[in-house]
């Protein structure tokens, strides 16, 4: 619902011509989630910009024939079905490679193409629970979900990265290939370096125990806001003591060295929390920054676009989009010195470009009318 479509959108951001293929009855059901304009939700629009919409009925041979014609002139095909669905529709790798031997075929699934879970539906929150990510967020308490489809999005980014690598390999003579990507595998690869840092070195008789860096990820209330900071290194510790006006901590034997502070981390964390609560947020941040201690106050979501650095970077743009009206959205974050990216076209209305794409494939107006009459493509809107 997001991982495959967002991967294609990221390709569009980098200059690819992308066609989104949807079913005739209602199209992608993600269109209806969240705030909506004209029946289309902001989330759907946010992961489908830069595309054209083609509506075909893949349950009908005529619809599959249209898709095969499109694939014949394409570089990449991305499908986000559960295992087995593409084969039942006649659009699996073997079927499409028969019309395009150089195709990069991408399968994105929740759990992979075999195993005990492949018949289960998979969503971001399911993978967060299974991968250990929710347990990590909960710490010593109950598991907590990240309130964001982080697994969907990192899977999309990994898919785009893999597509670009496959295209480069093809340019170097390797031909087309099949990229298989699962959300559970991507989640574990994403989580592992820091999230599983205490479960990676298995020769326990040789390992020196140390704290988990997740324990430093604490949000503390100030008198009027919320603050995050981490200042455990020897270079930052004196600055923290100065900013909080606690010079006596520098001579406290419990906190004399980094090892001492790690050994007494719970006591120190409680002391810092009490001191932070005595200060107003902006004054404290200024003091911490003056002593080179990394920190930030929490930006409310409705004010993030007003942050001075965000405004300076010009990452968010407000502009008019056809049929959507005024839209605020991020530009592609990578800045290329020679081949700059752009936001490209608006997210399409359902069936907006079907006639246009079919004409490019050589279908005449009479052919297109016949396809509509047969139900192979969507009805005219």
DSSP assignment letter at 220: E
Instruction: Identify the pLDDT of residue 86.
Output: 95
Q: What is the pTM (predicted TM-score) of this model?
A: 0.92
Locus of tokens 């047969």: 374
Domains of the chain: 3-193+304-374 (3.40.50.10540), 226-297 (3.30.1540.10)
- Going by pLDDT thresholds of 50, 70 and 90, the confidence category of residue 381 is low
Locus of tokens 């990452």: 315
Burial (0-12, 13-18, 19+ Cβ within 10 Å), 69: middle
- The pLDDT tens digits for 10-63 are 999 999 999 999 998 888 888 888 888 877 789 999 999 999 999 999 999 999
Instruction: Identify the pLDDT of residue 239.
Output: 95
Catalytic residue annotation: 152
Contact indicator for 144, 203 with CB cutoff of 8 Å: no
- The pLDDT tens digits for 247-264 are 999 999 999 998 899 889
Contact indicator for 358, 367 with CB cutoff of 8 Å: yes
Distance separating alpha carbons of residues 315 and 10, to the nearest angstrom: 16
Locus of tokens 């004010």: 303
Kindly tell me if the per-residue pLDDT of 232 is higher than 80. Answer: no
Locus of tokens 């020769």: 203
Collect contacts of 270-275 with beta carbons under 8 A, ≥24 apart.
Answer: 271/246, 272/220, 272/240, 272/244, 273/218, 273/220, 275/244, 275/245, 275/246
Instruction: Identify the pLDDT of residue 210.
Output: 80
Distance separating alpha carbons of residues 114 and 102, to the nearest angstrom: 26
Share of the chain above pLDDT 90, in %: 81
Distance separating alpha carbons of residues 67 and 57, to the nearest angstrom: 10
């Amino acid at each position: 619902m997001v991982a495959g479509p967002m991967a294609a959108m990221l390709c569009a951001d980098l200059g690819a011509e992308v066609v989104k293929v949807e079913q005739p009855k209602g199209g992608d059901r993600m269109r209806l989630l969240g705030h909506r304009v004209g029946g289309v939700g902001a989330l759907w629009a946010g992961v489908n910009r830069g595309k054209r919409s083609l509506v075909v009925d893949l349950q009908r041979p005529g619809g599959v024939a249209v898709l095969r014609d499109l694939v014949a002139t394409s570089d990449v095909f991305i499908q986000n079905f559960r295992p087995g669905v593409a084969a039942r529709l006649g659009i699996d790798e073997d079927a499409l490679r028969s019309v395009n031997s150089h195709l990069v075929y991408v399968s994105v699934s929740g759990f992979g193409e075999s195993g005990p879970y492949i018949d289960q539906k998979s969503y971001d929150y399911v993978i967060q629970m299974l991968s250990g990510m929710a347990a990590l967020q909960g710490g010593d308490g109950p598991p907590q979900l990240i309130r964001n489809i982080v697994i969907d999005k990192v899977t999309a980014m990994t898919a785009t990265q893999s597509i670009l690598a496959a295209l480069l390999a093809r340019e170097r003579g390797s031909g087309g290939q099949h990229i298989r990507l699962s959300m559970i595998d991507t989640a574990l690869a994403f989580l592992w370096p820091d999230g599983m840092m205490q479960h990676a070195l298995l020769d326990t008789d040789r390992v020196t125990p140390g704290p988990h860096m997740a324990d430093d990820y604490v949000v503390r209330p100030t008198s009027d806001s919320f603050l995050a900071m981490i200042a455990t290194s020897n270079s930052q510790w004196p600055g923290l003591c100065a900013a909080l006006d606690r010079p006596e901590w520098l001579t406290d034997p419990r906190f004399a060295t980094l090892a001492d502070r790690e050994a007494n981390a719970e006591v120190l964390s409680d002391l810092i929390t009490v001191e932070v609560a005595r200060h107003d947020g902006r004054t404290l941040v200024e003091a911490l920054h003056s002593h080179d201690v990394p920190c930030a106050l929490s930006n409310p979501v409705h004010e993030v676009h007003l942050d001075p650095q965000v405004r300076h970077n010009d990452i968010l743009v407000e502009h008019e989009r056809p049929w959507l009206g005024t839209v605020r959205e991020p530009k592609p974050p990578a800045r290329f010195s020679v081949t700059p990216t752009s936001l490209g076209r608006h997210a399409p209305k359902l069936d907006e470009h079907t006639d246009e794409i079919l004409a490019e494939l050589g279908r005449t107006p009479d052919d297109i009318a016949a396809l509509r009459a047969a139900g192979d493509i969507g009805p005219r809107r």
